[in-house]
Chain A
Amino acid sequence: MTKKILIVEDNELNMKLFYDILTYQKYNVEKSYDGLDAYNKIKENNYDLIILDIQLPKLDGFSLIEKLKKENIPTPSIIIVSACAMDTDKQKAKEHNITDYLTKPIDINNFVRIIKQKLEKL
């Protein structure tokens, strides 16, 4: 069965890059441009993986994770892809049990490889 991925990213060009690459890899990819929209989509759909940016309009990445947890909404696997390179954010990701933290700019080969590994484990 085709794996379903949600990309949460507010930058139009980065969204296009991730979307094109993952679609090429034959995944079923959906787009979300802000945290609140992502929240609604996660609530209503069953994704295998979320590609999540941290700085987002309406609701930032970490707040989204906290909100889902608080409301007991089943959270799919998450890979954070953020332009924030400070150690404090990586630490914060760890506290939310997210070990996959990629810093922009990403290496797309690495990006595809990590996603593949993650989805194989499911």
Chain B
Amino acid sequence: MENLLSESLNLIDDIINDTQVKNLNFYQSVLKMMSSLYKDSSLGIFFCENSSLITKKAINNNSFIENYSPNVDLFFNFFNSKNKYQEIKTKKDNLLYSNTLFSKLAIKESVFGIIVLSSDKIMTPEIKTSFLALSQIISYKIKDYELNEVFKIQLKALQEAMTEKQEAYEIIKKQHKKLQELDKTKNLFLANISHELRTPLNAIIGFSQALDSKIFGDLNEKQAEYIKDIQISSLHLLGMINEILDISKLEAHAMKFSPIELNPSQTIQEVVNILEPLYENKNITVKFNPNFECKIKADYQKFQQILYNLLSNAIKFTKEKGEIEIIQSKKDKNYTLKIKDNGIGIDKKFHNKIFKKFVHINNVYSKNQNSTGLGLTITKELVKLHKGKISLESEVNKGTTFILEFKNIIL
């Protein structure tokens, strides 16, 4: 009996180690091996599909035996019983063989199949014991084998998933790099464009200023008017070029913040002076208190630009003979600036959108107003550089007030 057992174990190991053996062949090989051990007998292994019931269909589908026709009732009776092992003796007429041994293939309580040995020979205790032992061994070996197969499949799937992930990562990395390069190219392009546009603009603005200053002789009324028109248009064009350059600087994080001590009333006065041709052209009144005393720490150019953007916007959206008011106030070290107009106003539904890039509000009205759609985006960023906050109050046809709040900016 020991020979029988050790021989069968070796055979099973051989089968398992033979990597050429395919899934189906594995079980057939086990049976063939056992048939060679139990001569003049018939063997069968039947697997259930979900450890609960062997249906007739399942039996037929999973039967690997070639010359064995089981008595199905006997089979079911055994499977549904609590017995792990059963011996049945029948008359030779009913079954192919008179002696049959059933044993469940199971790991602990989980039954996944039945192994059957039938023979006309008397089942000696030696045969019975070895058969029982073998069914146990086969149970474990089969589960081992299946787990191994499952593990292999899962490992393969995992490897594939990882390769896929790696490939996707590589693609994203490449695209990211490409986008960064494109962004760089875009910013460089914008900086170049700005440079190229400034050169001819210098001649346009310079020559019209020279004519306007009358250093080379007087102008008649129409000529003087046209020169002013050229200057207004040039300033407008310059504003747009500056906006494009600023947005590219902001996006490239190349905006430098150099705060100095300044008097905001003075800066407001300067900006109001620059914009005089624009608001006088529309007969707009600009009110502010130039004697408001205050010293703040701000970046001069950027603070000037914030004012320029908001004031030129106010002028743009205020009708003829309208009014713009600049209100400064201070409390402790906090400085607040309000730019209030009685222009066309902004619908509430746009209030959240207007600081986004390329947003043109009041589309109908602004059709005649050339703009880049970048002004307020830049203004917000410039206010942020000063650690300030920008907000607005507005009502259609009543006017708009932009509110700038700077905390801890007063010296």
Interface set of A (CB-CB < 8 Å, partner B): 11, 13-14, 16-18, 20-21, 24, 55, 83-88, 91, 103-109
Closest Cβ of chain A to B381, distance in Å, is 15
Q: Is the CB of A108 within 8 A of B195?
A: no
Q: Which residues of B contact A84 (CB under 8 A)?
A: 191, 195
| Secondary structure type dominating chain B contacts | helix
B200 lies within 8 A of chain A by Cβ: yes
Q: Which residues of A contact B194 (CB under 8 A)?
A: 83, 85
- Out of A17, A87, A103, name the residue touching B203 (CB < 8 Å): A17
Q: Which residues of B contact A104 (CB under 8 A)?
A: 198-199, 201-202
- With contact pairs A85-B194, A85-B198, A87-B249 given, residues A14 and B206 touching in the complex (Cβ less than 8 Å): yes
Closest Cβ of chain A to B257, distance in Å, is 10
**A119 to B1 CA separation, bound complex (whole angstroms):** 120
Which of B196, B202, B209, B254 has the most A CB atoms < 10 Å from its CB?
Answer: B202
**A10 to B216 CA separation, bound complex (whole angstroms):** 24
Q: Which residues of B contact A13 (CB under 8 A)?
A: 200, 203, 207
**A105 to B194 CA separation, bound complex (whole angstroms):** 11
Interface set of B (CB-CB < 8 Å, partner A): 191, 194-196, 198-207, 209-210, 213, 215-216, 234, 238, 242, 245, 249, 254-256
The total of interchain contacts (Cβ-Cβ below 8 angstroms) comes to 73
Please name 9 pairs of A and B residues whose Cβ atoms are closer than 8 Å in the assembled complex, sorted by A: A13-B203, A17-B202, A17-B203, A21-B215, A85-B198, A85-B242, A105-B206, A108-B210, A109-B209
| Secondary structure type dominating chain A contacts | helix
- With contact pairs A85-B194, A87-B254, A106-B206 given, residues A14 and B249 touching in the complex (Cβ less than 8 Å): no
Q: Which residues of A contact B209 (CB under 8 A)?
A: 107-109
Known: A14-B206, A106-B205. 7 other contacts (CB 8 A): A13-B200, A18-B206, A83-B195, A83-B202, A85-B242, A87-B255, A106-B206
| In the complex, residue of chain B having the shortest beta-carbon distance to the beta carbon of A25 | B215
| In the complex, residue of chain A having the shortest beta-carbon distance to the beta carbon of B197 | A83
Closest Cβ of chain A to B131, distance in Å, is 89
Which of A20, A86, A88 has the most B CB atoms < 10 Å from its CB?
Answer: A86
- With contact pairs A11-B199, A85-B195 given, residues A105 and B256 touching in the complex (Cβ less than 8 Å): no
Which of B203, B242, B255 has the most A CB atoms < 10 Å from its CB?
Answer: B203
**A85 to B203 CA separation, bound complex (whole angstroms):** 17
Q: Is the CB of B201 within 8 A of A88?
A: no
Q: Which residues of A contact B210 (CB under 8 A)?
A: 17, 20-21, 108
- Out of A87, A88, A91, A108, name the residue touching B206 (CB < 8 Å): A108
